[in-house]
Structure 1
Amino acid sequence: MSEIKPYYPAKPPLTAGARFIRGFQRVGVVMACLVGVIGLITSIVVAVDQQSSASRRYSQAKCVYDKLSAGQPVKMREYDKSKIDYDESGCLGPGYGGTPTEVAIAAANPPSALESFVAPFAIGIGITAVSSALSFGLFWLLGWLCAGFTRD
């Protein structure tokens, strides 16, 4: 074989401004990833909390509904006598309260597996995506400005 090497045009060296922009872009990517990971974890935690809160509200409403169905007395709230005080009635939970009609409706509709999970998670992911993009864009813009408006 011959010693002839294929010709690849050499890339010109980067200017100082282009290096500066590239460095800020890399910092922007790292920051965007950090914002994304923190946003994802926060979205999951909030969504799980919302789903467990819905499950606790259902179990509390079911407890009061069972008491009403059995004819046991339930206590009403002091400031609004039309609403049932769940905690004072012996059904401890997140402080949910309502009229007997609202209790019957809440007890009849158990939350589905991901009913209260999807909306907070989707909103959190949307906010995370926008925040990550803004974070990257801010660092890229800062590098471009500091480099003196040079090309990438």
Structure 2
Amino acid sequence: MTEYLRPAFAIILPNLGGFAGFLAINNPNWYKNLNKPSWRPPNWVTPPAWTYLYCTMGYASYLVWRDGGGFDGEARLPLAIFGTQLALNWIWTPLFFGAKKLGLATIEIGALWGAIVATIITFNPINKTASYLLLPYLGWVSLASCINYSIWKNNKDRRD
């Protein structure tokens, strides 16, 4: 039974943090009134995209934990980097939507992007599939970084 519980926990954990970040959004109307780039995906794409990404990153972490000897084996550093990128991921939503710190969120998402790259690199020697599972996540955060920067640049004069 634990053979199913461990991957399930690894998959659920990132989703819990993502959902908590969503709950931190205290004024969704604020976002609607921002000057946003025309090339951003429609709003309805975001929830299923993040659900997929959180599930795949959770499963990837399980594969590395399993194949790398857990926290006492060679997986220790890759999992620590994974935890760092996950924390940066969870911080972004309250920073951008809750605190409305567009510039700081732009810097923060840049750090997140770097942490994802580091996670992919350190996962690869332990489990190649795990590193490949994170590539769509890197792509999505790359797009989100460009959107974040564009919103920050085009709304610098706003007073909210």
TM-score using structure 2 length: 0.27
Higher relative contact order by CA 8 Å / sep ≥ 6: 1 or 2? 1
TM-score using structure 1 length: 0.28
Whose helix proportion is higher, 1 or 2?
2
